Amino acid sequence: MKPLADYPFDDFENYGVAPEFEGRKRFSLILNNTAALHRHRHFGPNHVMRRLCQGLVDINLPPLLYANDQAGLDLVLSVLEQPPTLVVLNGEGTMHDDQRRAVMLLRMAQDLSARGIPTVLINTIWQNNSAETATMLANIDLIAARENQSHQALLKIRPDTLLVPDLLLSAQMGFVKIQGEGIGVVDCSARSKSLDLMRFAAAQGHRFYAMERRLLDKPDLIRNTGLNPDAITMPQLEDISNHNAWVVGRFHFAMALMVHGIPFAALPTKVHKMQAMLHDAGLMGCLLPDDWQSLTIKEQQLAVQTALGSWNSATLKRAQTYVKAAERSTNAMFACLVALQPSD
């Protein structure tokens, strides 16, 4: 058996071990470390995973290991002298449309549960999955959906499903003060929508930010939209202070703006995560129309102005109410995880 220090936590994409927690009698194993999957380039998954890890430390179940595929799971389990106390599957935006990755992760969780290890699925979307995939939830000890649309779908399968908004809302991100002016524009996970957002930014003279690394590596494609590739950067949390309003295609970026009370217009996502979250928060007024891509630049600008115009004191109050409720729900969920620990 290799020492745990040979498997540094978060240094690899598909597996990792945290040596600082070695020797703990109780510890947890995380499935689907999305921060590692994105190589820590996306601040959304970074903050989600930090909140998850901190929550597990707070309940004395520190995250000793993570695995993002079956090979990674086999490897990290091979270095253990005892099984984990708890397995936490971070559903995030993965659990939809019977995606191969979703099914793989659920099978991993199912196998660990069959070994008698308490296993939970939290922070998850649930959309357009088959009845066969749903059967894999039967022996999961606790399930928490991150928005009401997924919650309603899961209640039909597991009536005990909790509703706990995305973990980023209760992450300690610090306070960001607006220092810039004008509108910033952030890309989308869908390439075609990102290109349309680029054309819009170029036509309106807005600064553009891209989280998709592969997009940044295609300068000719970017130039064709009218933007200068050298002027595009990957957004970080501190960048939200660069502008006093935003047009966003990224779910977690929109949530960070909400936490800090910065107005934004949001592009609907292919899966329901953006629109479902905004519905729960009472912020549907800032959602751009489904056909925004097909509109003329002038019509797109009018739609953006309408969405940004929906922000007022009442809107900000609803956003802050949602954030505070998310913090309470998250704390209550971690308290439920304590109850899953076997007695000595």
Residues 87 and 204 in one domain: no
Does 341 reside within a domain? no
Does 172 reside within a domain? no
Does 336 reside within a domain? no
Q: What tens digit of pLDDT does each residue of 127-163 get? A: 999 999 999 999 999 999 999 999 999 999 999 999 9
Spatial distance between the Cα atoms of 72 and 9, rounded to a whole number of angstroms = 12
Strands 15-17 and 63-67: antiparallel
- Residue 87 sits in a domain of what CATH number? 3.40.50
Residues 200 and 80 in one domain: no
Residues 58 and 189 in one domain: no
Let me know the angle formed at the C-alpha of 128 by 125 and 131, rounded to the nearest 5 degrees. Answer: 105
Does 30 reside within a domain? yes
Residues 125 and 196 in one domain: no
Residues 201 and 152 in one domain: no
Q: How many helices (H) and strands (E) would you count in the chain?
A: 13, 11
Q: How many domains does the chain have?
A: 2
What are the C-alpha distances in Å from 25 to residues 21, 61, 81, 116, 344? 9, 9, 11, 17, 10
Examine the fold and report which residue of 111, 130, 163 is the final residue of a domain before the chain moves on: 163
Q: Which helix (H) or strand (E) holds 79?
A: none
Instruction: Name the CA radius of gyration of the chain, rounded.
Output: 21
DSSP 208: E
Residues 251 and 190 in one domain: yes
pTM summary value:
0.92
- Domain range enclosing 41: 4-163
Spatial distance between the Cα atoms of 145 and 294, rounded to a whole number of angstroms = 32
Cβ contacts of residue 177 below 8 Å, gap of 6+?
241
Query: Do 307 and 285 touch, CB atoms closer than 8 A?
Result: yes
The whole-number pLDDT of residue 12 equals 58
Residues 12 and 159 in one domain: yes
Residues 26 and 151 in one domain: yes
Spatial distance between the Cα atoms of 201 and 19, rounded to a whole number of angstroms = 46
Query: Do 279 and 148 touch, CB atoms closer than 8 A?
Result: yes
Does 107 reside within a domain? yes
Does 340 reside within a domain? no
Residues of the chain with pLDDT under 70: 1-12, 19, 174-175, 343-344
Q: In the block, which residue shows the tokens 């800032």?
A: 286
Query: Do 81 and 198 touch, CB atoms closer than 8 A?
Result: no
The whole-number pLDDT of residue 2 equals 43
Backbone angles phi, psi at 86, to 5 degrees: -150, 140
Q: What tens digit of pLDDT does each residue of 272-290 get? A: 999 999 999 999 999 999 9
Residues 141 and 228 in one domain: no
Nearest to 242 by CA among 307, 188, 187, 182: 182
Structure token digits, residue 127:
């959309």
Does 174 reside within a domain? no
Q: In the block, which residue shows the tokens 């994409």?
A: 13
Spatial distance between the Cα atoms of 253 and 242, rounded to a whole number of angstroms = 13
Residues 17 and 153 in one domain: yes
Residues 138 and 215 in one domain: no
Cβ contacts of residue 199 below 8 Å, gap of 6+?
225, 226, 297
DSSP state string for 109-164? HHHHHHTT--EEEEEE--BS--HHHHGGGTT-SEEEESSHHHHHHHHTT-TT-EE-
Give first-to-last CA distance, the chain, whole Å: 27
Query: Do 27 and 74 touch, CB atoms closer than 8 A?
Result: no
Residues 105 and 155 in one domain: yes
Does 177 reside within a domain? no
246: which strand partners? 184, 264
* 224-241 per-residue burial string, b: 16 or more CB within 10 A, e: under 16: ebebebeebebbebebbb
